[in-house]
Structure 1
Amino acid sequence: MDANSLNRPFLLSDEVEPDYLKKKSSFLKSSVKLTLKIVMWVIFIAWVGLVFLYPGEIGNQLVEKIINVTNGSVFGLAGSLFLVFSAPILLIAFLAVAYLIISGEDVFQKRKTSKNPRFRLWTFPVLVDGPFGVVSAAEFIGIILFVVFIIWAVYAYTMRNLSLMTLFDLPSTENGILILELTGLRFGMIGLLCLAFLFLPVARGSLLLRLIDIPFEHATRYHVWLGHLTMMLFTLHGLFYVIAWAIRGTLVKELLDWKNVGIANLPGVISLLAGLFMWVTSLHPVRKDYFELFFYTHQLYVVFVVFLALHVGEFIFSIVAGGIFIFMLDRFLRFCQSRRTVDVLSAKCLPCGTVELVLSKPQNMRYNALSFIFLQVRELSWLQWHPFSVSSSPLDGKYHLSILIKVLGEWTAKLRENILSMSEAEAQMDLPLPTKTMITASVEGPYGHESPYHLMYENLILVAGGIGISPFLAILSDILHRVKDGKPCLPRRILVVWAVKKSDELPLLSTIDMESICPFYSDKVNLEINIYVTRESEPSLEEGKVHVALNSSCPVSGCSMSALVGTGNNVWSGLYLIISTVGFVILMALLRIFYIMPYQVFTWWYQGLLYIACMVGSVIIFGGLVVVLWQLWEKNVSETDEHENNDRIKVESALSNETIAHKDLTQKNLESSTIIEYGSRPDFKKIFGSTSRKWGHVDVGVIVCGPPTLQSSVAKEIRLHNIKRESHQSIFHFNSHSFDL
């Protein structure tokens, strides 16, 4: 054994290539990626800068000049506004396709550990309490920029309103009403500019999110923040108009007005009401206690978008069309993926009340240890989709994926009951279950980081609360597999801090057999595990007993997860995006050439409806064609490897059906590096202080998975330590891994 194995990251060294060829290929690849990155940044900065300046005179004049240059095209004013406000984000998505294809699957292989540890904006917590939760320095800067934009836009539009008022000589009452209407108009415009960003974070498998490596569970926070801001602006937009109409005495007439030329008020009222329903039910108290009400009400986004298009017409709607189109592409792809039923290779009820499901997946599906899937079980509900962390490493098996589900609510309780009833039926009949299984699962995802960032720290602290240990089991398994196989893997020192309420949850740690994955792993990775049992003062009487999991095997029909979404195939994802967008442009051109212009269709709301129809049609027709070809290709690949696939599924299914009777986590068989403390909670000040002194001046990645209170406690201590640290101590980098819709 190499004596320096603990002081050197593990790197891939399987393939031998001449140095000059390697350097030439690496230089060319890096040059192309750098060029693409620069171009994307230039487009993004120009786009954001134009949006920022638009409320002022300079930005407005610049947009008018672009419109004058491009307005002569077949697409008219709508095409010009689309080119200014929506096309840049689609162009960045096109370039992202090339960037991700060039990057391939080794996006982290070239990253070196920093010799000089330093703070990073994305991992330095600034705000740890309050309505935003834990906010990093980068996120805080983003919030400040949005606040500055809103203040600037209100100021710029107010100045423009006052300058307009000097052109009219009206009575004081009419003057006040006009000011109210102009103010409402301006708030509506600011709301549209925010709406241009609103749908981007919830495009779960979006190439844009994969480009900037922000996983969906993190991006939902930005959608929530933008949603509150956008609905506040739209509410003010409607409120100012309502006050003006009430003063004028035409409130009811104006609310019911549906003009053919100009803004149609009634569709706007319907759109705003749908938005208000979504907004009210998404507030934290309602979402927490009545999640299903929040979930079902949020489907009103369809009504919100369609009636917004009817309200403002084609050319104004084109301002926000880019982000909505990307979301529609993602939503259709998710729909296609979720229609497929997936084999449940194994369903297991663990003694602590946790359910383990092992799902079949294709060999070519890419995902990382820190990934989520959305699961639907049709026997329980045809509408409910629940997110769960993946508890298995992609290296655990080519054809299966595991998740751990804590029984907390009605849906999870019913799932456990179904599995127990299946186990009882098998035990009584002493025969396999009938052909028809009692668990029909559908899956969306996996979603997660494009690159496995847990492999980019040489020093890791994993902080889990309860079932939050699930993704860390995948991390540990992933690291041990990579160490054994010589794959890229930087972590050398790992500290696991796990807080559980009762000791019956301890067997969760034994769902992975670390010694069998990587024999003598303690010689290669310094692993420490500190467990805190908070609600027990001493080991329970049953701790020495064997814990047996109740298993239920399910029929294997050869149906595995679809690889359409998540970190899927970059080439097919790119073709889907590009061809759908080209299809949208073609449909719009044909519509204007053969229908709108010959028949003089100038009704605003009708043009808005046709615009939405073209977006939907391009996704279904052109995008659907790509999806069909993608699925045929996927089927052909799976059939090529069908015999090996079936054999491996049987082996992996058999392995997953093993009980954990021989893996009991007791004081006798615990590793020497594992410590269990009863009746106490983790003292993070002490933990981070001692770790910092022991590990020295290095970067330490801290990943937290647990309730918001746990995240806040860890983030607060990291912020305090990093601010007061001495030069020879560690720098801690905060990363959260928790899903909260």
Structure 2
Amino acid sequence: MGELSGQVPLLLKKEDEFDHIKKIPVLVSSTIKVIMWVIFIAWATFISILPIKFVNEQQFRFIQATQGTIFGSTGSVFLMFSLPIFMIAFLAIVRLILNGEDERQVCRKKNAKGPNFSLWTFPVLVDGPFGVVTAAEMIGIMLFAGYIVWAVIMYTIQNVDLLSSFHMQDMKEKSALLLELTGFRFGFIGLVCLAFLFLPVARGSVLLRAIDIPFEHATRYHVWLGHLTMALFTLHGLFYVICWAMRGRLLEELVDWKNEGVANLPGVISLTAGLLMWVTSLPGVRRKNFELFFYTHQLYVVFVVFLALHVGDFIFMIAGAGIFLFMLDRFLRFFQSRKTVDILSTTCFPCGTVELVISKPANLNYNALGWIFLQIRELSWLQWHPFSVSSSPLDGKHHLAILIKGLGDWTKKLKGNILNLSVEQSEKAPLLQHNKKIIASVEGPYGHESPYHLTYENLILVAGGIGISPFLAILSDILHRINDSKPCLPRNILIVWAIKNSDELPLLDTVDMEAICPLFSEKLNLEIQTFVTRESQPTLEEGRVPKAMHPSISPGFKGCRMSSLVGTGNVVWSGLYVIVSTIGLVITVALVDIFYINAFNVYYWWYKGLLLIGSMVASVLIFGGLVIALWHLWDRKTSSKEESDDATKKVDVLQQKNEISLHKSFGEGRFVNNIRYGQRPDLQEMFASHAKIWGNVDIGVLVCGPPTLQSSVAKECRRQNLQRSGHQAIFHFNSHSFDL
């Protein structure tokens, strides 16, 4: 006993030393995060004080002083506006690598001393043009609005002072000059907003991953910034048009293409493309004719290229970093989407929902709250549609599942193709089945960097209709973690599901809870409340599930998996892709400047803008393409070990799903314990009662459904938090809806 007791301190000492070593990356990661914030605040401060006359003059002098260098004025603007973004991106890569996949760090309890409010999860606006806005988002909106007002006021004062120095007597010419100066200022402010515009739509961006903003949230910021940017550019063009009309030179100025200075015609073309995108993206147009919105939005290429021709290279570099990072993401998405993917199985539910099980490589990790973009070539070569993943990454390494509700033309055609394919295969010989299959392409998966649903001990999941899909993934993920003794905080879960008809109930059976975790009821307090709003009583067919149909299970199975070359995939390779491409951009621009622009004294602004765009494209294709090629070779080499038994594993997965489907077909839907007909959920009563039961805790509220449901849930979270007194629960609002 003495010997054993003497060994214990040594063991504890070694464990403490090991924990101390593990804390070093966390400390370095925290330091990098602070540095990133310092750089961003310094950069934002510089932009905000630019409207001050003294700072503006110093900036102009710095640009003038660098004209004789290799990079010229473009280099100086790059240092001031684009370099900070790239520095933050590089630091974000290092931080993501250091963070790794430490599940204990991800799933740690946030507030050991009690519940606390969070700016990111406290809704302050629930109704209005912005939808549901949290406190953190409201701060961002106010800062942007404050900058716009501040810049307009300061630039107006400068314009008036500049106008007084001309000593003009003609009031008409004086007014025209004031309009011209004002239009110029609006154009510059629009370029500053454009510097942010493309960052949120880079789906696999290391910047978004570093601050853990998923693309479905970032898309909202892109929409807000898009409206603001186009409003500023519209004012920019409108003031110039009025000015030219007052001078009687409207047509001449509109078609003017200056070689030195700003070229007007490219600006007109760029603004026209932007206006088309803006008008078709308005909610009334987008919701009624999504395809029109989708196709006209591809005019962003015209918008960007002709903007570069309009302002030249050094002015374009104000927004160059964000545009370049978007180009990198777009090229990687293009490469991933070229690969066709096997649809391992399909299941048609009586409510018109289709489940697709898609083949994926084992080394492609994703979050339970993930999204993919899907293209079915039989339906359209251009349309890509987003769907939330309905399976947990722990369900299997070689597949993921999505649920698709037949709501629009595209989804209804998909369901019809699957039904027709299953009928054809049932009538033909099995040896001919491999001639018929669904050809799909996939982009993603995308989503949160960390599984934030695992950081709450208490969860309320509110879904409307097909919005149950991501919550099935959450439920499966939690059950797997409990069964495998992995870090997982959730212990109390309430699922509130509102559906129109009872034929949607079988969707819950896609998660076989007892098969995943036989004793889950001992460790998880799970309550499911389903509300069937359009039926007053249960139907005779309730709970019956049709047998699954698998048109792609055949001897012709080719083993085509999703590509693992995705921005949210391997952190090292995706980071190397960004770094090498950015260095390649600097090298390419330097070579063009040394051997062409400076050597041949090229001074045309529009031409230098075109050369800058060409340098961006070349660096993405050459340097980025080289990294992608090496990444692809590495991926093939690392996955070659599992290729031999990969097909067997996939077939086993499909056979397992068949057995589960057959089991469910005769099941009784025992997991839906509380079904109410002809009612809608009373969120106020539910939230209040569970807050009383669970006590003084943080409650994570996740909602997935239409905007009206999001607003209702956000309003109730805000109500409960504002009325909170004493030791009561705090509700944290989180939305998992993609409202494009």
Q: TM-score, normalised by structure 1?
A: 0.96
Please state if 1:111 is matched with 2:108.
yes
Cα distance in 2 for residues equivalent to 1:406 and 1:33: 42
Instruction: Give the alignment of 1:9-28 within 5 angstroms.
Output: 18-28=14-24
Opposite residue 108 of structure 2, the aligned amino acid is R
Cα distance in 2 for residues equivalent to 1:579 and 1:640: 29
Please state if 1:638 is matched with 2:634.
no
Please state if 1:421 is matched with 2:420.
yes
State the Cα distance separating 1:646 from its structure 2 match: 2.2
Identity of aligned residues (%): 63
Instruction: Give the alignment of 1:695-710 within 5 angstroms.
Output: 695-710=694-709
Q: 1:717 to 1:544 in 2, by over 3 A?
A: closer
Please state if 1:31 is matched with 2:27.
yes
Q: 1:642 to 1:611 in 2, by over 3 A?
A: same
Instruction: Give the alignment of 1:49-128 within 5 angstroms.
Output: 49-64=45-60, 66-67=62-63, 71-106=67-102, 108-109=105-106, 111-114=108-111, 115-128=113-126
Cα distance in 1 for residues equivalent to 2:493 and 2:25: 33
Contact residue 348 and residue 657 of structure 1 kept, 8 A:
no
Q: Which residue of 2 aligns with 1:156?
A: 154
Q: Which residue of 1 aligns with 2:618?
A: 617
Query: After the TM superposition, which of the residue ranges 432-441 and 123-132 deviates more from structure 2?
Result: 432-441
Contact residue 437 and residue 552 of structure 2 kept, 8 A:
no
Opposite residue 220 of structure 1, the aligned amino acid is T
Q: Which residue of 2 aligns with 1:372?
A: 371
Contact residue 510 and residue 665 of structure 1 kept, 8 A:
no
Instruction: Give the alignment of 1:203-214 within 5 angstroms.
Output: 203-214=202-213
Instruction: Give the alignment of 1:183-198 within 5 angstroms.
Output: 183-198=182-197
1:456-496 Cα offsets, whole Å, 9 max, x none, are 00000000001100100000000000011111111010000
Instruction: Give the alignment of 1:533-552 within 5 angstroms.
Output: 533-543=532-542, 545=544, 547-552=546-551
Contact residue 348 and residue 552 of structure 1 kept, 8 A:
no
Please state if 1:147 is matched with 2:123.
no
State the Cα distance separating 1:319 from its structure 2 match: 0.7
Contact residue 344 and residue 556 of structure 1 kept, 8 A:
no
Contact residue 549 and residue 659 of structure 1 kept, 8 A:
no
Q: 1:544 to 1:641 in 2, by over 3 A?
A: closer
Cα distance in 2 for residues equivalent to 1:16 and 1:669: 49
Contact residue 371 and residue 389 of structure 1 kept, 8 A:
yes
Contact residue 307 and residue 316 of structure 2 kept, 8 A:
yes
Contact residue 464 and residue 498 of structure 2 kept, 8 A:
yes
Q: Which residue of 2 aligns with 1:686?
A: 685
Q: Which residue of 1 aligns with 2:495?
A: 496
Q: 1:66 to 1:104 in 2, by over 3 A?
A: farther
Please state if 1:200 is matched with 2:196.
no
1:339-391 Cα offsets, whole Å, 9 max, x none, are 00011111221222110100010111010000100000001110010000100
1:45-75 Cα offsets, whole Å, 9 max, x none, are 0111111111222432453465466555310
Q: Which residue of 1 aligns with 2:136?
A: 138
1:313-348 Cα offsets, whole Å, 9 max, x none, are 011011110000000000000000000001111122
1:655-691 Cα offsets, whole Å, 9 max, x none, are 234463432597x5524x7211000000000010101
Q: Which residue of 1 aligns with 2:670?
A: 670
Please state if 1:169 is matched with 2:170.
no
- Partner SS, residue 391 of structure 2: coil
Instruction: Give the alignment of 1:566-585 within 5 angstroms.
Output: 566-585=567-586
1:444-464 Cα offsets, whole Å, 9 max, x none, are 000000000000000000000
State the Cα distance separating 1:39 from its structure 2 match: 1.1
Cα distance in 2 for residues equivalent to 1:65 and 1:176: 28
List alignment gaps of at least 5 residues for structure 1. 1-14
Q: Which residue of 1 aligns with 2:609?
A: 608
Contact residue 505 and residue 543 of structure 2 kept, 8 A:
no
Please state if 1:350 is matched with 2:346.
no
Opposite residue 374 of structure 1, the aligned amino acid is F
Q: Which residue of 1 aligns with 2:512?
A: 513
Opposite residue 670 of structure 1, the aligned amino acid is R
Query: After the TM superposition, which of the residue ranges 46-55 and 188-197 deviates more from structure 2?
Result: 46-55
State the Cα distance separating 1:653 from its structure 2 match: 2.2
Cα distance in 1 for residues equivalent to 2:707 and 2:599: 59
Opposite residue 92 of structure 2, the aligned amino acid is A
Cα distance in 2 for residues equivalent to 1:147 and 1:334: 33
Cα distance in 2 for residues equivalent to 1:561 and 1:433: 25
Contact residue 505 and residue 542 of structure 2 kept, 8 A:
no
Cα distance in 2 for residues equivalent to 1:545 and 1:570: 44
- Partner SS, residue 120 of structure 2: helix
Cα distance in 2 for residues equivalent to 1:70 and 1:36: 31
Opposite residue 301 of structure 1, the aligned amino acid is Y
Q: 1:348 to 1:566 in 2, by over 3 A?
A: farther
Cα distance in 1 for residues equivalent to 2:543 and 2:638: 48
Q: Which residue of 2 aligns with 1:558?
A: 559
Q: 1:685 to 1:102 in 2, by over 3 A?
A: same
Q: 1:261 to 1:23 in 2, by over 3 A?
A: same
Q: 1:433 to 1:346 in 2, by over 3 A?
A: farther
Q: Which residue of 2 aligns with 1:649?
A: 650
- Partner SS, residue 123 of structure 1: coil
Cα distance in 2 for residues equivalent to 1:692 and 1:726: 12
State the Cα distance separating 1:713 from its structure 2 match: 0.5
Q: Which residue of 1 aligns with 2:6?
A: none
Cα distance in 2 for residues equivalent to 1:219 and 1:462: 22
Contact residue 509 and residue 665 of structure 1 kept, 8 A:
no
Cα distance in 1 for residues equivalent to 2:471 and 2:12: 33
Please state if 1:733 is matched with 2:732.
yes
Opposite residue 245 of structure 1, the aligned amino acid is W
Give the paired residue count: 725
1:391-427 Cα offsets, whole Å, 9 max, x none, are 0000000100000000111111111111111211221
Cα distance in 1 for residues equivalent to 2:546 and 2:345: 18
Q: Which residue of 2 aligns with 1:400?
A: 399
- Partner SS, residue 200 of structure 2: coil
Q: 1:16 to 1:522 in 2, by over 3 A?
A: farther
Cα distance in 1 for residues equivalent to 2:243 and 2:509: 67
Opposite residue 28 of structure 1, the aligned amino acid is I
Cα distance in 1 for residues equivalent to 2:533 and 2:412: 24
- Partner SS, residue 143 of structure 1: helix
1:617-674 Cα offsets, whole Å, 9 max, x none, are 00001000100111111111121221232221111122234463432597x5524x72
Instruction: Give the alignment of 1:303-452 within 5 angstroms.
Output: 303-452=302-451
1:61-110 Cα offsets, whole Å, 9 max, x none, are 45346546655531011100011001100110011111000000126446
Q: Which residue of 1 aligns with 2:589?
A: 588
List alignment gaps of at least 5 residues for structure 2. 1-10
State the Cα distance separating 1:17 from its structure 2 match: 10
Contact residue 346 and residue 359 of structure 1 kept, 8 A:
yes
Contact residue 390 and residue 401 of structure 2 kept, 8 A:
yes
Cα distance in 1 for residues equivalent to 2:291 and 2:539: 37
